[in-house]
């Protein structure tokens, strides 16, 4: 019996020691947590401020630059960032730029700087753009606003860095239908540009101001008989709406086509067909999928009417006599 009692007492003692050690560890963790909390010290009193995580910053966006901005020299960057509940202050905004360069369009990221909270919702910095390689409509600026708990990202896309003026390569299209790019000394803001080949076709950017700096029109713009396209993967600054004209066609009832299929209304729209010239409006040249625009006959067989001496197919919208 004495041996059983001794064994029971040893077990109780071990359990007590284990519980005591566990209690000491828990108390130590609470003490460390308390010391880590931010506190506002006032003479004669001590208080502790606890900030609650209420979610990421509710708003962050670029005031400048915005999409399609053209930057050069030293530019003043302004970003707005704030928290919806005014509890969790945005402590800083980091700015990055992603750019697609080279023949393989390699993506490169540049860290442009971090702007720290200074009491208001505007985060501002001066950026020396000469530290970045020139590229047109290939930069994406990224602002990452970090609060105490979380972060939120905003982007400004198709930004151009242009510190060196380069004329477009356009010798293939030097004619009376095409804008005379030779008369300019800067090509970042060309109004109402046209690119065409007499008797073949025309791209008309009427109403737009576009960046043609260093554009390779010879390689990336295609105007052939009943076939017009722009490789906007290589020329992203030219992915805008335009009027296309196709010359010397001979259709009865033509319709617009994109990549050999009926062109959807969200991509192109019929304008007119007169004197063998077909006009359509296109809303994009395809930033993800390049569009090859053309024209096709819209008539389909409706009736087969024939006799022994007269075998003709009749079509929709065709006069039958």
The per-residue b/e assignment along 76-99, b for 16 or more CB within 10 angstroms, e otherwise, is ebebbbbbeeeebebeebbbbbbb
Residues facing 86 on adjacent strands: none
What angle (nearest 5°) sits at the alpha carbon of residue 81, between those of residues 76 and 87? Answer: 145
Most distant CA pair in the chain: distance in Å?
128
If pLDDT is split at 50, 70 and 90, which confidence band does 133 have? very high
Residue 153: Cβ within 10 Å count: 13
Q: Is 226 helix (H, G, I), strand (E, B) or coil?
A: coil
Q: How far apart are CA 155 and CA 69, in angstroms?
A: 13
State both tokens at 50: 């606890």
Domains of the chain: 59-161 (2.60.40.10), 171-297 (3.30.1610.10)
pLDDT of residue 28: 64
> Which pLDDT belongs to residue 90?
79
pTM as predicted: 0.73
Distance CA 46, CA 297 (A): 85
Average pLDDT over residues 203-211: 98
> What residue has token string 């931010």?
38
pLDDT tens for each residue of 40-56:
444 444 555 555 565 55
In this prediction, residue 220 carries a pLDDT of 96
User: pLDDT tens digits, residue range 257-285?
Assistant: 999 999 999 999 999 999 999 999 999 99
CB 270 within 8 A of CB 277: no
């Amino acid at each position: 019996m004495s041996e059983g009692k001794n064994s029971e007492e040893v077990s109780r003692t071990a359990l007590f020691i284990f519980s005591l050690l566990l209690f000491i560890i828990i108390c130590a963790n609470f003490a460390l947590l308390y010391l880590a909390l931010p506190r506002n010290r006032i003479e004669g009193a001590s208080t502790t401020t606890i900030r609650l995580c209420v979610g990421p910053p509710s708003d962050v966006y670029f005031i400048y630059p915005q999409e399609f901005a053209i930057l050069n020299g030293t530019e003043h960057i302004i970003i707005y960032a704030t928290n919806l509940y005014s509890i969790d202050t945005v402590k800083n905004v980091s700015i990055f730029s992603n750019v697609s360069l080279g023949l393989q369009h390699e993506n490169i990221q540049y860290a442009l700087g971090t702007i720290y909270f200074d009491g208001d919702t505007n985060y501002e910095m001066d950026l020396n753009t000469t530290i970045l390689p020139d590229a047109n409509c290939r930069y994406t600026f990224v602002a990452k606003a970090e609060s105490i708990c979380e972060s939120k990202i905003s982007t400004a896309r198709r930004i151009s860095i242009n510190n060196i003026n380069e004329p477009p390569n356009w010798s293939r299209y030097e004619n009376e239908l095409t804008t005379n790019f030779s008369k300019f000394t800067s090509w970042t803001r060309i109004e109402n540009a046209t690119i065409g080949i007499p008797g073949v076709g025309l791209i008309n950017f009427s109403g737009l101001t576009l960046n043609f700096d260093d554009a390779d029109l010879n390689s990336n713009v295609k105007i052939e008989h009943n076939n017009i396209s722009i490789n906007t993967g290589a020329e992203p600054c030219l992915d805008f709406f335009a009027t296309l004209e196709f010359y010397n066609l001979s259709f009865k009832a033509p319709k617009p086509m994109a990549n050999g299929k009926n062109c959807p209304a969200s991509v192109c729209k019929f304008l007119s067909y007169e004197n063998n010239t077909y006009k359509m409006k296109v809303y994009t040249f395809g930033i993800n999928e390049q569009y090859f625009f053309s024209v096709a006959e819209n008539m389909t067989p409706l009736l087969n009417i024939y006799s022994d001496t007269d075998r003709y197919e009749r079509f929709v919208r065709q006069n039958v006599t």
